[in-house]
């Protein structure tokens, strides 16, 4: 029984979501499934908080239902090669149903001779293992570890999918060429799904002719979730808790947030808290103010890392001028065209903006733009 007028806010933001908290992504999930099962490596690219990790979690759960091995490793906090190998190994072990079974499989069936020690105590399922290798051997152990899924796939004659989240972090470890050479030998037996939000770094990793991963993947751009998917999701959550929102108001929310799932959920969360039964148009503005205030710290930090010309350029872009390079527009901020171009490149490198068709620019986080406009009012 659904509890009408429940005090429990049905919208969730922050962390990964699944089940009834997960909206849309049907098209992307089907495409990813078809690609991975045919051994096609994919790069899932999205701005921050567009729902990569949640989608990959739902993808993985579906493969589990089908009995297909699909390991997930997040390398965002990895600081060196040894830590990378540890994370990778532990993710592989979890996929094989726990460390004990993994060790048994690795030693007896795959014929590897790796040695391990327990890294942290905890409940049995939380054990993390540390590879007992010295500095000299760590390059060798890296190869052994990343080869495990391939060995398993070959031996068991089953597909194996490996998801590496925040993959751009490997660029700083100096193992890009090595990883590429190992993965390359895994052919179609292992499908790799690389994901990340630092688009400027990832596009160079996979798009620059001199880089090891050049043109080695199919790229999937994860955009905002379209309004048609949000309509039922949002209206349903309001209705289930005894509140009402119109489809026009939902469209307004989705347009403001450009479909970015984190922002849509955050805005809906704030809106739901404000209204007692029926959403009025004025409530939307109030909810937006709440969200922008809550994100103030984050946005202030994004602003502070910009150079002065990048800050000026960000303000110019936020105002959406019809002619970006006109003397009137640039002159107001004391900029010339060459400095403006350099600032635009910098904003892209810092993952603030995207360049879209027609030479136009958008903010990767649409609420950052609204925050800027509010600051400068
Ligand atoms: N498919 C979805 N349906 C509904 N909400 C979603 C969906 N995907 C993501 N979200 C919302 O966005 C938030 C962030 O999701 P998630 O952590 O998966 O994004 P991410 O792109 O991996 O973020 P980051 O860039 O920080 O790694 C979630 O807490 C949730 O509020
Ligand atoms: Mg993530």
Closest CA to 39 of 217, 245, 201: 217
Q: Of 52, 76, 49, whose CA–CA distance to 365 is shortest?
A: 49
Cα 72 to middle of ligand 2, angstroms: 12
Q: Is residue 232 predicted with pLDDT exceeding 70?
A: yes
- Pocket residues: Cβ below 6 A from ligand 1: 12-17, 22-25, 46, 48-54, 197, 261-262, 265
Q: Provide the token pair at 8.
A: 């429990």
Does residue 214 sit in helix, strand or coil? coil
Q: In a 3-state reduction of DSSP, which class is residue 287?
A: helix
Residue range 332-374, pLDDT digits in tens: 888 888 888 899 999 999 999 998 877 788 999 999 999 999 9
- Which among 319, 305, 321, 302 is positioned nearest to 368, based on CA atoms? 302
Which of 198, 257, 262, 351 gets mutated to test ligand 1 (max ligand atoms within 8 A of its CB)?
A: 262
In this structure, whether the domain defined by 297-375 belongs to CATH 1.10.357 is answered with no
List, for residues 52-63, the tens digit of each pLDDT value. Answer: 999 999 999 999
Q: What CA–CA distance (Å, rounded) separates 294 from 335? A: 32
Q: Rg for the chain (alpha carbons), in Å?
A: 23
User: Pairing state of beta strands 42-45 and 353-356?
Assistant: unpaired
CA distance 343 to 100: 53
d(Cα 166, Cα 183) in Å, to the nearest integer?
A: 17
> How large is the average pLDDT for residues 225-238?
97
Cα 22 to ligand 1 centroid, rounded to whole Å? 9
Q: In what order do the strands lie in the sheet with 190-196?
A: 69-74, 160-165, 190-196, 42-45, 218-221
Model pLDDT for residues 276-311, shown as the tens digit of each residue: 999 999 999 999 999 999 999 999 999 999 999 999
Ligand 1 atom 15 nearest Cα: 51
Out of 3.40.640.10, 3.40.50.300, 3.30.930.10, 1.10.760.10, the CATH code matching 25-221 is 3.40.50.300
Is the predicted pLDDT of residue 4 greater than 50, yes or no?
Answer: no
Ligand 1 atom with the shortest distance to the CA of 260: 12
Distance CA 24, CA 332 (A): 43
Q: How many Cα atoms sit within 13 Å of 20 on the Cβ side?
A: 6
Q: How far is Cα 33 from Cα 52, in angstroms, rounded to an integer?
A: 15
Q: Encoding tokens for residue 263?
A: 């922002």
Query: Is the pLDDT higher at 230 or at 185?
Result: 230
Cα 203–Cα 209–Cα 213 angle in degrees, nearest 5: 60
Lowest mean pLDDT among 17-21, 145-149, 237-241: 145-149
How many Å lie between the centroid of ligand 1 and the Cα of residue 356? 23
Please identify every residue whose CB atom is under 5 Å from ligand 2, which is an ion: 52-53
Structure tokens at 128: 């993390």
What percent of the chain has pLDDT above 70? 89
């Amino acid at each position: 029984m659904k509890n009408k007028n429940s005090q429990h806010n049905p919208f969730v933001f922050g962390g990964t979501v699944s089940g009834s908290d997960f909206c849309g992504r049907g098209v992307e999930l089907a495409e990813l499934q078809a690609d991975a099962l045919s051994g096609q490596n994919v790069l899932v690219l999205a701005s921050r908080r567009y729902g990569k990790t949640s989608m990959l979690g739902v993808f993985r759960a579906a493969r589990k239902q089908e009995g297909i091995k699909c390991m997930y490793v997040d390398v965002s906090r990895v600081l060196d090669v040894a830590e990378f190998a540890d994370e990778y190994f532990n993710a592989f072990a979890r996929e094989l149903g726990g460390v004990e079974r993994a060790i048994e499989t690795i030693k007896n069936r795959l014929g590897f001779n790796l040695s391990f020690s327990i890294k942290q105590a905890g409940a049995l399922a939380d054990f993390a293992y540390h590879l007992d290798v010295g500095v000299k051997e760590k390059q060798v152990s890296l190869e052994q570890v990343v080869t495990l899924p391939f060995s398993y796939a070959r031996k068991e004659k089953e597909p194996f999918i490996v998801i590496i989240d925040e993959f751009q972090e490997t660029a700083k470890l100096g193992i890009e060429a090595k990883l590429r050479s190992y993965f390359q030998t895994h052919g179609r037996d292992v499908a790799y799904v690389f994901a990340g939000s630092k688009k400027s770094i990832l596009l160079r990793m996979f798009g620059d002719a001199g880089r090891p991963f050049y043109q080695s993947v199919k790229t999937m751009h994860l955009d905002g979730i379209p309004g048609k998917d949000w309509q039922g999701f949002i209206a349903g959550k309001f209705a289930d808790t005894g509140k009402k929102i119109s489809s026009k108001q939902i469209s307004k929310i989705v347009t403001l947030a450009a479909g970015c799932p984190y922002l849509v959920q955050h805005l809906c969360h704030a809106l739901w808290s404000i209204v007692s039964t029926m959403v009025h148009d004025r409530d939307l503005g109030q909810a937006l103010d709440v969200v922008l205030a809550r994100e103030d710290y984050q946005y202030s930090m994004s602003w502070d890392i910009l150079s002065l010309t990048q800050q000026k350029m960000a303000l110019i872009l936020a105002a959406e001028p019809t002619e970006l390079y006109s003397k009137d527009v640039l002159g107001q901020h004391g900029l010339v065209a060459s400095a403006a171009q350099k600032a635009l490149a910098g904003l892209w490198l810092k993952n603030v903006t995207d360049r879209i068709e027609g030479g136009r620019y958008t903010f990767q986080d649409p609420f950052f733009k609204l925050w800027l406009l509010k600051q400068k009012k």
